[in-house]
């Protein structure tokens, strides 16, 4: 490896720079794509389960929060 670098120092550095640039570009695009997918996933609505959006009056009455107000 050191003989190759001593014989072709500029070519070796150019090749390493290209490899590093391609890896950096791939890592950046991968991160942006992953973040965009996660953000899009936050806004999708799951229709698989039924949820009760009402207020549980009986559960609230059982809490007995009268001592908190002074």
Model confidence pLDDT, tens digit, residues 28-37 = 999 999 999 9
- Tell me what pLDDT residue 27 has: 98
- Tell me what pLDDT residue 52 has: 65
CA distance from start to end of the chain: 79
Nearest-angstrom CA–CA distance, 11 and 9: 6
Sign of the CA dihedral running 4, 18, 13, 20: negative
Nearest-angstrom CA–CA distance, 40 and 70: 45
Is position 9 within any domain? yes
pLDDT in tens, 37-64: 999 988 887 676 666 678 888 887 788 7
Element (H, E) at 45: none
- Its pTM stands at 0.55
Is position 8 within any domain? yes
Nearest-angstrom CA–CA distance, 42 and 36: 10
Is position 6 within any domain? yes
Is position 64 within any domain? no
Is position 31 within any domain? yes
Domain containing 13: what range?
1-35
- Tell me what pLDDT residue 51 has: 65
Is position 56 within any domain? no
């Amino acid at each position: 490896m050191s003989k190759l670098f001593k014989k072709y120092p500029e070519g070796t550095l150019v090749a390493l720079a290209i490899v590093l640039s391609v890896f950096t570009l791939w890592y950046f695009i991968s991160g942006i794509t992953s973040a965009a997918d996660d953000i899009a996933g936050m806004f999708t609505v799951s229709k698989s389960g039924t949820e009760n959006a009402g207020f549980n009056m009986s559960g609230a009455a059982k809490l007995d929060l009268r001592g908190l107000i002074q």
